[in-house]
Amino acid sequence: MNRRVVVTGMSGISPIGSTWGDVSKNLREGHSGVSANPELSEIDGMKTRLAARVEDFETPAHFPRKSTRNMGRVSLLAARTTEVALQDAKLIDSPLLGGGRTGVSYGSTSGSPPAMEVYFRLLSANSVRGIRPTDYVKFMSHTVPANLSQLFGVRGRIIPTSSACTSGSQGIGYGLEAIQCGRQDIMICGGSEEFHVAGVAVFDIMFATSSRNDAPHTTPRPFDRDRDGLVVGEGAATLILEELEHARKRGAPIYAEVLSFGTNGDGKHITNPDSDGMRRAMELALGEADLAPDQIDYVNAHGTATEAGDIAESLAMNKLFGPRMPTSSLKSYFGHTLGACGALEAWASIEMMREGWLAPTLNLDVVDPRCGELDYICGGVRAAATEIIMSNNFAFGGVNTSLIFRRWDE
């Protein structure tokens, strides 16, 4: 059994907007969400002062207290974007959510870091005083999908994906597979991440963060000769995936078809990206969809603006597609949203495909000659009638993902 799967609802919360209208405007006008973050200047030894934060997010007043007391910011971001996506899919308050044929496949790098800090104090203070029963629920690795299930009354499969920068893309991919094999009819899929200094420190210690602290608008610079590292961001995005005939019968809107998902492991270095492993993930997705490389019209790149990552990814794409492939990185606007990036970038890529344009990579002035020859989109928005697009993400641990979407014209 290999049932066709479509997207019937979408929503995202990003550093450049919490509606597609706002995000689209900022992408078109070349505005990024990167800014100086005073909180980082207080950390001894931290080189970067930059972050891409979601500004002015507040917990919706109508969310019940019995649910929100179990949620850190990572779950709250996911909950709000999921609520909007369910409304978009005409599923909010639907009995379909609790019928056992709707599930959740959702990722984040970890649970909510502030709740983890509460437990760390147990070690320094040698006391459990002040630790609340809900603190663990906020930071457990599956906190996001578990909280989404409780908030929306979902009684189907719960699939947590916690694989760093591929958490969101695996959330979509494993949701796709659950429907394809007939186990579920609808899957709430996506990824979420909340900003925390620990997430920045991970990359800063590895000399992988940008230190253009006095010029936030000039960084990150994926694929650029003068890039100096990534900028950590936050956000969330939700895609509602549904079996095609099930969606048609209930009159659901259809935004795109999800053709395939490829994922693999490098089996080599725990942090160094591997070009061959990246290429094999893309080949898996192409094979699953029975597509040739020349049938892909655009690749939304992982594009972190790190030297090793940009070069490995570019060479992988060049070897598979040749120099013709249009590509760009949305991390130049969002920052690296870690567990959310796969979902945010898939959402934006689908919307661009529907509207017939492609965002350029911001700050890409001179392509690094060590990167493979590709059709790097830079300098301005490009009109493009894309039919089939690919969205790629790669994570520490050698985890690689590739998703393929098709324009919905039926």
Based on the residue annotation, tell me whether 181 is a catalytic residue of this protein.
Answer: no
Name the residue among 312, 350, 254 with its Cα closest to residue 20: 350
Residues 6+ apart with CB under 8 A from 392: 278, 281, 282, 299, 300, 301, 302, 313, 400, 401, 402, 403
CB 332 within 8 A of CB 322: no
Torsion of CA 117, 119, 120, 124, to 10 degrees: 130
308-330 burial, b if ≥16 CB within 10 A, otherwise e?
Answer: ebbbbbbbbbbebbeeebbbbbb
The active-site residue out of 142, 196, 246, 302 is 302
Amino acid in the structure at residue 285: A
336-362 burial, b if ≥16 CB within 10 A, otherwise e?
Answer: bbbbbbbbbbbbbbbbbbeeebbbbbb
Give the separation between CA 236 and CA 17, rounded to whole angstroms. 11
Q: Walk across the sheet containing 375-376 and list its strands.
A: 158-161, 102-107, 186-193, 235-243, 5-13, 256-265, 399-407, 388-395, 298-300, 326-328, 375-376
Based on the residue annotation, tell me whether 165 is a catalytic residue of this protein.
Answer: yes
The active-site residue out of 189, 336, 341, 371 is 336
Based on the residue annotation, tell me whether 31 is a catalytic residue of this protein.
Answer: no
Give the separation between CA 166 and CA 392, rounded to whole angstroms. 9
CB 201 within 8 A of CB 16: no
CA distance to 107, 236, 314, 316, 340, per residue, from 343 (Å) = 9, 7, 21, 22, 6
Residues recognised as catalytic? 165, 302, 336
